[in-house]
Amino acid sequence: MVNYGGDEVSALVLDIGTSSLRAGYAGDDTPKAIIPTSYGYIDIPQQQQSAEGGGDGDVTMAEGDAATNGEAAPMPEQSSQKKVKLFIGQNGPSMWREGMNVANPVQNGMITNFEPIPPLIDHALREVMRCEPSEHPILVTEPAWNTSANRERMAEIMFEEFHVPAFYISNTGVLNAFAAGKGSAYVIDIGSSTASVTPVIDGFVLRRGIVRLAHSALPQLMQAHARHLLIAQTSRRPGIELWSHQLIASRQPVDPGAPPKFELRQDRIAGTTESWKAWAEAREVEEWIQSVAGVLDQGWNEQAASARGARHYEFPTGYSNYSSAAERYSVGEQFFTHSPQLVASNPNLPKTIPALISGSLSACEPEIRQVLMGNVVLTGGGSLFAGFVDRLQTELSRNFPHAKIHAPGNPTERRYGAWLGGSILASLGTFHQLWISREEWEEHGKAIVGQRCK
Amino acid sequence: MAGASAADVRSILSLPNPSTPGPSQLRRTPSTAEKARKPDGISRELYSLIGPSAPTLATQLAKPRLKQKPNLGSSGRVKWEWKQFNNGARGDGLKLSHWVKAGTNPEADYPFAKYNVQPMSYVFSHDEYTRLLEDKDWSKDETEYLFQLVKDYDSRWYIVHDRYDWEDGPERSMEDLKDRYYSVCRKLVRSRPWAGDDASRNQLIASLTFDKEREVTRKKYIASLESRTPRQKAEEDALYIELKRLEQNERQFKRDRDELLRTLLGIESGLPDLPVEEDGLISAPVDSKKKKKGHMSATAEPETPVSSTSNVPNVISLGQPQTKKSQSANSARYDATHCIHRTDVPATTSTTTKAAHAPVYLRSYKLPQPRAPSAAKVAQVLGELGISHTRLVMPTRENCAQLENLLEAATALVETKKVVDKVEQDIRIMKTRLGEQESGGGEEEAETGDTVPTPMDVDDNNDAEGEVNGRAQSVVSTRSTRSRRQSRRSVSISSVDTSGAVKRQKRG
């Protein structure tokens, strides 16, 4: 037991990201529960509210939707007495429901709306993992730029609502470094909405290295670019309609490039909310990006791009076409360079990856820059973007000839790196002295979180 | 019974009975060697019959030894229990649970608590501060804040510096923080009474020293290294390569000079005749390129490497330096009486390098060899004289010199003969050609030129080949000396064959 330093106390690890919420037992290599962070909700009309009266979860759970859904709890919105019904989990936002809106409590990697967080966690732990949180210590992750108010709120939710015996909150950057087996690392995390760089030394984040906004909404810019590419009309093709399959009644096969022949489900169109439509369209764009888009490994070069050839892709409407190489590779280029026109038109452009790296490195001691560059850890689902690792290597080796990138080939490790690091950390025998216990929480209050989780 | 059957066998084979009586021998043998060495799989009776000369087949009858099966389950299975434990490293009573083997003492210390090592931290009192630690740049509060941070982050200075956030104070660099911390610690250690001996105290103080100036300079240097422009980097690289090339040239030059010495002075140079490669650092293609370059520089302007480096051991002096002239008359007499000849070790070569080192050798190893092109001939000549030039019965200095003279003479003789033969051959060819021209046929000319059988032809076979292959040989000679040596050997082998033929011809 002491040989490998592990001592499992059946702790839980919870990692909340923009696209998904991961939960599982510490000591496992993959999270047991992976559910989307986005959730659907339907406002409950006033008269129904009064009919329910003091009814809590059970009443609404009896409804048909809720039963298939796994989780539905009416919850009071912050100040107003308006009640909403939540749809969470794999069948939450992805199922079409009349009047259902979709929202995401996480913005830029940070939780901005704590209202749906307890139901989300509850769903992951109780419904998916079928475990009782009050029996397990829990380790939660946070981004490096998290506020202390936010982490205290998280501790409060855990202790007061889930009655966990012990709690700890740890930085995703540090955990990613641990998952790669490193104490000191330069973590480049490309999430679904945020790209960030975090210098980690001896298991601590260098705050100076992240103080100058070392994260940016680069993936969002990339997605917006791709969406614009698809819906804009070009000389070669008309703009593409991004209807999702939930709204399509029937379609017929057509030749590539020919206008699609499909019929919409008119019964659903009226009841579709704007937020759900936006969510569904974003998903279509994401699908297209993942199957078609890429980035050139040696910088933008029209010829090199055209040498890669076009690729076929079919949309849910039945429309299919060959995405030209220039189209495909211009998407990935957004990560590394911004065109001058774009910069001129938009002053608040998210920083590119090279800009992020140089900005955060210049804030570090010159002595440790080489150490950091020798231990670059690339993580996050966005880093699985085709050709990303090669391109990053090219960009880094320009300034740091000895830069070495650790990028796990296993996609699970790449996507859930922070969870994996948390799983390793929370199963270490030497870690158990760091837990904030319920006793300490009751004695010291919120201040203990800042003291213990440095 | 076994003894009886053995006796039967003896009588059947009409073997003589052992001199000692049977029973005593029988009693002795099984008790010691045979019993101990009886292999498995042979019955005792059979073994006593055939003795230790058992056929190998019998040993194979032994039961094959397999890897022992793991003993599972039978010896009581281990029970594990989900038990609460107390972590000694924690300040509160948090009870976590884990799986332990049943029967483990629940009150035992948590095995991981021992890793909770608290680093040595220094605390100072108000009195100590006012007495010793006053500093115009630092307030007491800030110093205490610094000490708290260092304690919190276990002296991880990068983190301490990163988290250092003192509102009223000026911006502190990491060197400022370290300097303050270590100077305070040193003063505290010095001023406080010390329980141990002075050595350990000095050691502790030494471990707390911090040279701020040096660290700052070092940091600046690192920063300047990073801020180099690509051009500067390229220039540095070029300079480095240039330096390496100069070193290479120098080495090459030295090797050439050694070879020259060896060629000019032969054995007297005192250099071992095998050129030793000094290092395997340079890969072969680069080496060859460098070699050419080295040759060029050495031949064209041999002074350059010397003047550029101005190293004393590299000064060229082909003549023997007059070093050991100051020998006393006494020692000269001593040498004379004891037949000691002192050869002058060439002081030009630096004795530190492998190539220039002349190890002690037997003189018989340094017997003069006939020169390459006519070696076979010379050997043949000497063989006819009944002298072996490869082995001297008494290789004294004089004998060696004699042998060398002899070799030189033989070489000269062979050379002369060769020239004579060639001239005669030419004359003959010319004569035949003249005769042919007079008689007529132009196309016959070429044929006869090639096929005229001459008595000298057989003898000259090798030389003719040498002449024909002149170009090929020159190509070969540009290769390494080893390959040249091998080719020489092969030539000599073929010459042995032909020489035998020649002798037979002469006899016949």
Q: Are strands A39-44 and A74-76 parallel, antiparallel or unpaired?
A: unpaired
φ, ψ for residue A373, nearest 5 deg:
-70, -25
Domain B126-226 in this protein, CATH class:
mainly alpha
Nearest to A435 by CA among A140, A30, A31: A140
Q: Express each pLDDT in B372-394 by its tens digit.
A: 777 777 888 888 887 777 777 77
Contact call for A206 and B90, based on CB within 8 A: no
Residues of chain A with pLDDT > 70: what percent? 91
Give the torsion sign (CA, B343, B344, B345, B346). negative
Instruction: Provide mean pLDDT across the span A249-273.
Output: 90
**The pLDDT value given to residue A235:** 81
- pLDDT score of B328 more than 50: yes
Please list every residue in chain A whose beta carbon sits closer than 8 Å to the beta carbon of residue B94.
Answer: 165-166, 435, 437-440
Does any CB of chain A come closer than 8 Å to the CB of residue B90? yes
Lowest mean pLDDT among A377-381, B35-39, B385-389: B35-39
List residues of A whose CB lies inside 8 A of any B CB: 1-2, 5, 7-10, 137, 165-166, 201-202, 204, 206-209, 365-369, 429-430, 432-433, 435, 437-440, 454
Please list every residue in chain B whose beta carbon sits closer than 8 Å to the beta carbon of residue A438.
Answer: 94
Q: Residue A371 contacts by C-beta under 8 Å, 6 or more apart in sequence? A: A184, A201
Q: Contact at 8 Å (CB) between A323 and A364?
A: no
Q: Are strands A106-107 and A83-87 parallel, antiparallel or unpaired?
A: unpaired
DSSP A54-95: T--HHHHHTSHHHHHHS---EEE-SSS--EEEEE-STTSTTS
Contact call for B94 and A439, based on CB within 8 A: yes
Q: What's the whole-number average pLDDT of chain A?
A: 86
The domain defined by A219-342 folds into Actin; Chain A, domain 4 (3.90.640)
Joined together, the tokens standing for residue B147 give 């000490």
Contact call for B162 and A208, based on CB within 8 A: yes
Please list every residue in chain A whose beta carbon sits closer than 8 Å to the beta carbon of residue B115.
Answer: 429-430
Q: List the Cα angle B89/B90/B93 in 5-degree steps.
A: 135
b/e burial code for range B139-175 (CB count within 10 A of at least 16 → b)? eeebbeebbebbbebeebbbbbbbbbeeeebeebebb
Distance CA(A228)–CA(A215), nearest Å, equals: 23
- pLDDT score of A182 more than 80: yes
Does any CB of chain A come closer than 8 Å to the CB of residue B222? yes
**The pLDDT value given to residue B123:** 84
Does any CB of chain A come closer than 8 Å to the CB of residue B92? yes
Beta bridge partners of A314: A320
Nearest to A437 by CA among A169, A131, A159: A159
Which chain B residue shows the shortest CA-CA distance from A205? B159
- pLDDT score of A257 more than 90: no
Nearest to A134 by CA among A159, A170, A117: A159
φ, ψ for residue A301, nearest 5 deg:
-155, 115
Please list every residue in chain B whose beta carbon sits closer than 8 Å to the beta carbon of residue A439.
Answer: 92-94
Nearest Cα of chain A lies from the Cα of B228 at a distance, in angstroms, of 11
A439 → closest Cβ in B93, B116, B163: B93
Contact call for A429 and B112, based on CB within 8 A: yes
Distance CA(B450)–CA(B384), nearest Å, equals: 31
Please list every residue in chain B whose beta carbon sits closer than 8 Å to the beta carbon of residue A454.
Answer: 152-153, 163
Contact call for A454 and B152, based on CB within 8 A: yes
**The pLDDT value given to residue A179:** 94
DSSP B218-252: HHHHHHHHHT--HHHHHHHHHHHHHHHHHHHHHHH
DSSP A271-294: T--HHHHHHHHHHHHHHHHHHH--
**The pLDDT value given to residue B456:** 45
Please list every residue in chain A whose beta carbon sits closer than 8 Å to the beta carbon of residue B96.
Answer: 9, 137, 165-166, 432, 435
Q: Contact at 8 Å (CB) between B326 and B241?
A: no
Domain extents in chain B: 80-115, 126-226, 232-268, 369-437
Distance CA(B298)–CA(A224), nearest Å, equals: 68
Instruction: Provide mean pLDDT across the span A196-205.
Output: 92
DSSP summary character for residue A180: T
Does any CB of chain A come closer than 8 Å to the CB of residue B161? yes
**The pLDDT value given to residue A117:** 94
Joined together, the tokens standing for residue B249 give 């040239």
Best of B81, B112, B114, B224 to disrupt the A interface (most A CBs within 10 Å) is B112
Between residues 127 and 146 of chain B, which touch chain A (CB distance below 8 Å)?
Answer: none
Residue with tokens 């490869």: B390
- Helix B230-265 vs helix B284-300: angle between axes, to the nearest 10 degrees? 70
Beta strand ranges found along A138-232 (DSSP E): 138-142, 166-171, 185-190, 195-201, 204-205, 215-216
Contact call for A207 and B222, based on CB within 8 A: no
Joined together, the tokens standing for residue A400 give 């740091």
The beta-carbon contacts of B184-193 under 8 Å, at least 24 apart in sequence, are: B184/B122, B184/B124, B184/B133, B184/B143, B184/B147, B185/B122, B187/B132, B187/B133, B188/B122, B188/B124, B188/B128, B188/B132, B188/B133, B191/B128, B191/B131, B191/B132
